[in-house]
Structure formats: structure tokens, C-alpha cells
Amino acid sequence: MNNPTDLRYAASHEWIRLEGDIATVGISDHAQEELTDVVFVELPALGRTVDAGDPTAVVESVKAASDIYAPIGGEVVEVNPAVEADPSLVNTAPYGAGWIFKLRVKNAAEISSLMDAAAYTAHIS
């Protein structure tokens, strides 16, 4: 799968889509492939404030639990109940229905520290 060019990526394999001051966050196709079968997603509490790099959600495979970090600071304003009900969405649609949470960002300029699709593709290859 190609990494969509309208997203930004963290070195720790989260992606972010910024629309106005709302950032949608998920994990990359590469990350879901590395994790294999996602069997559980722990979502953050609504209203929680996080800084860039804070562990914000947990994605678990049969073998391991992995922290998902906020790529950018903000307040959790929405979580995806669909991945709680069907964690395999993280595997089958990592850039779509498998998104994990949304943040109202504090400082949209932070996004410039994240990679674009070409840089991320180079990062994982």
C-alpha cells in the first residue's frame, strides 16, 4: 500500500491528517503489518490533553501491547468506537476506517516537524 501523500507521519509510525484545527490520528500500513493481527485497541478518554510524544492509545496484537503516541499536542475530542468493536479495522483499513482518535491541536505549526509521505517511505525502507 502507498502511504497517502495528504498525511504526515511520525518516526514512531503514527499518521496524522490535519483539517482546520482537528487532527485525525492512526497507525501506518507498515506499523499494522509489523504488528499483525490487532486484537484490542484501548482508546484515550475524551477531553484528555496530550503533548506531542505522549502515549495516548494502546494497540495490542496477540503477542505484544504497543503504545500509540500523539504526533502533535492537543485535546482528545473524538475516538473511533469502530476499532474498539472491531480491532481488525486497524489492519484492513489503517488510513481509513481504522483511525484511532482525533485531537483539537494546540499549535498546528508542530506538524512541520513530522515527515511527509516520501520521507516516511524512506524511513521504513
Where do contacts with other proteins occur on this chain (CB under 8 A)? 12-14, 27, 31, 34-37, 39-40, 42, 58-69
* Minimum CB distance to other proteins smaller for 50 or for 59: 59
* Minimum CB distance to other proteins smaller for 68 or for 89: 68
Kindly state the DSSP code that residue 44 receives in the 8-state scheme.
P
60-69 in b/e form (b: 16+ CB < 10 A) is bbeeeebebb
How far is residue 14's CA from residue 70's CA, in Å, rounded to a whole number? 8
Least gap, CB of 96 to other proteins (angstroms) = 18
* Minimum CB distance to other proteins smaller for 10 or for 18: 10
Least gap, CB of 25 to other proteins (angstroms) = 11
Least gap, CB of 16 to other proteins (angstroms) = 13
* Minimum CB distance to other proteins smaller for 20 or for 81: 81
| 3-class SS letters over 64-112 | CEEEEECCCCEEEEEECHHHHHCCCHHHHCCCCCCCCEEEEECCHHHHH
Least gap, CB of 50 to other proteins (angstroms) = 15
